[in-house]
Structure 1
Amino acid sequence: MPVLELTARIEPDIVGRSKRLWLLPDGLCLVQIIPSLRSFTYQRDEIVERTGPLRLEFYEKAAARVAAAGVPCAFRERVSDDLYLADYVPAPPFEVIVKNRATGSTTRKYPGLFEDGTRLPRPVVKFDYRCDPEDQPIGEDYLRVLGLPVDEMRERALVVNDVLRSWLHPVDLWDFCLIFGQTEDGELSVISEISQDCMRLRHQDGSPLDKDLFRGGVEGDEIVNQWSRILDVID
């Protein structure tokens, strides 16, 4: 069956917060982006049409650059506006977050340490346990007890940070999150989406180009307009 027919004829094998996933032969999967935006902090959870294709266009470009820098990515190819093929690697309940500025959970969970937006002297890497209703910071030693390659995940996350900052300049990358999966041979691979939905970006004029617009109460049409601006900057 052609992969594009799967979404109409077969129920997905996995449904998450922002993806539907169909398992395919040969270790592949078909992934459909759900155009959802969610903020636990600001109690918003909505479907914003047209954000899905914008996310996927960004992700396709970002994955190519990350892979070229030597960090394996599960992404294979886009097959429609909101569907792509990827290697199937099971997702662990942990994500890696890189922060170039103090913002978001940093200032909310640790009040008084930094002013919001403070540029950090070096990138900060932290790990979160992915759970509802809100992800929680987790100590690295817990991950080591589980046998996870914490140091390698940190190193690769910093490589991704360098790649994205260079590629996106002069847009300023404030922070982003990644999920690393492990293939059967133990290789780490970026299996999460890399897009406006999972990072904070600031235009040269200081305006947000990411999900902070949604967190701030901006309506869907304006979110789409602002997210489209980033595509005018990147190649």
Structure 2
Amino acid sequence: MQPSALPSDQELQAIREQREPDIQGRSKRLWLLPDGLCMVEMIPSLRSFTYSRDELVEETGPLRLDFYERAAARLEKAGIRTAFVRRLGPVSYLAEYHPAPPFEVIVKNRAVGSTLVKYPGLFEEYEPLPRPVVKFDYRVDPEDQPIGEDYLRALDLPVDEFRRLALGVNASLVEWLDSVQVWDFCVIFGLDGGQPVLISEISPDCMRLRHADGSSLDKDLFRRGASAEEITTAWRRLLDELA
């Protein structure tokens, strides 16, 4: 996607002030723009269905975007196309707009989360998996559900390419975050003329990361009842240690 001319920051600010968002979810507001673009504003929400916790933690919005901006640059260098175009402010950015499908792609390097809940006894808790596992979840309230790949193939979706790209994201993140352990993460791919584009953010809000000392650097802190200050301190620590 090569728009003829990107809108100025002043034009985008005017749009945000004059229009309600075209799309609003739990974690983002989107304003649709010409030339296949959108303006995204992060909502500093943290949610855990398993632990019945849903809160706003204002400081997490800028930290999520700090991480995502760096991650998008690393992935682009690795040849993985992302929707990120440029940052506009502390919690807003310009992006390509591609409709989000009702499923996400999850990569797991350790036996954590849904692996233990859905398949008890299959692996030991926190056990490193022999190789990264890619799975697809159908995005539905109140809790996402695993979906068989053949359902996606029945919709003529490029499942094998989604898998290849998800593993590429994993390899890039593991290399970049070499000082921490990448346990798992989820991503969402949109399509542009049949070609996958990574349209979701990459941030501690959608990953499990562990420091070398064993401490959590992600949303597991929130899931386990940590305070807003504890969460933001850990996320700042992660950013401070990144190259």
Which TM-score tier does this pair reach, normalised by the shorter chain? over 0.9
Q: C-alpha separation between the residues in 1 aligned to 2:22 and 2:107?
A: 30
Q: Does 2:181 align with 1:172?
A: yes
Q: Could you say which residue in structure 2 is the equivalent of 1:138?
A: 147
Q: Does 2:44 align with 1:26?
A: no
Q: 1:205 aligns with which of 202, 210, 213?
A: 213
Q: C-alpha separation between the residues in 2 aligned to 1:71 and 1:192?
A: 13
TM-score with structure 2 length normalisation?
A: 0.95
Q: Could you say which residue in structure 2 is the equivalent of 1:46?
A: 55
Q: 2:78 aligns with which of 45, 69, 86?
A: 69
State the SS of the aligned residue for 1:2: helix
Aligned residues: 234
Q: C-alpha separation between the residues in 1 aligned to 2:118 and 2:19?
A: 42
Which amino acid is the alignment partner of residue 99 of structure 2?
A: P
Which amino acid is the alignment partner of residue 235 of structure 2?
A: W
* Paired-residue identity, %: 66
Asked if structure 2 preserves the Cα contact closer than 8 Å seen for 1:77 and 1:84, the reply is yes
Which amino acid is the alignment partner of residue 48 of structure 1?
A: V
Q: Could you say which residue in structure 2 is the equivalent of 1:154?
A: 163
Asked if structure 2 preserves the Cα contact closer than 8 Å seen for 1:76 and 1:87, the reply is yes
TM-score with structure 1 length normalisation?
A: 0.98
Q: Could you say which residue in structure 1 is the equivalent of 2:66?
A: 57
Q: Could you say which residue in structure 2 is the equivalent of 1:191?
A: 199
Q: C-alpha separation between the residues in 2 aligned to 1:6 and 1:18?
A: 20
Q: Does 2:123 align with 1:121?
A: no
Q: Could you say which residue in structure 2 is the equivalent of 1:215?
A: 223
1:98 deviation in Å? Answer: 0.2
C-alpha RMSD over aligned residues: 0.8
Which amino acid is the alignment partner of residue 225 of structure 1?
A: T
Per-residue displacement from partner, 1:177-230 (whole Å, max 9, x unpaired)? 0100001x2111000010000000001100000000000000111100111111
Q: Could you say which residue in structure 2 is the equivalent of 1:10?
A: 19
Which amino acid is the alignment partner of residue 78 of structure 1?
A: R
State the SS of the aligned residue for 1:26: coil
Q: Does 2:235 align with 1:234?
A: no
1:2 deviation in Å? Answer: 1.6
Asked if structure 2 preserves the Cα contact closer than 8 Å seen for 1:31 and 1:86, the reply is yes
**What stretches of structure 1 move > 6 A for 4+ residues in a row?**
none
Q: Could you say which residue in structure 1 is the equivalent of 2:6?
A: none
Q: C-alpha separation between the residues in 2 aligned to 1:131 and 1:17?
A: 13
1:112 deviation in Å? Answer: 1.0
Q: Show the 5 A alignment for 1:69-88.
A: 69-88=78-97
Per-residue displacement from partner, 1:9-57 (whole Å, max 9, x unpaired)? 2100000110000001111100000000000000000001110000000
Q: C-alpha separation between the residues in 2 aligned to 1:232 and 1:85?
A: 24
Q: C-alpha separation between the residues in 1 aligned to 2:226 and 2:124?
A: 23
Q: C-alpha separation between the residues in 2 aligned to 1:230 and 1:6?
A: 34
Q: C-alpha separation between the residues in 2 aligned to 1:189 and 1:24?
A: 18
1:232 deviation in Å? Answer: 1.3
1:6 deviation in Å? Answer: 2.7
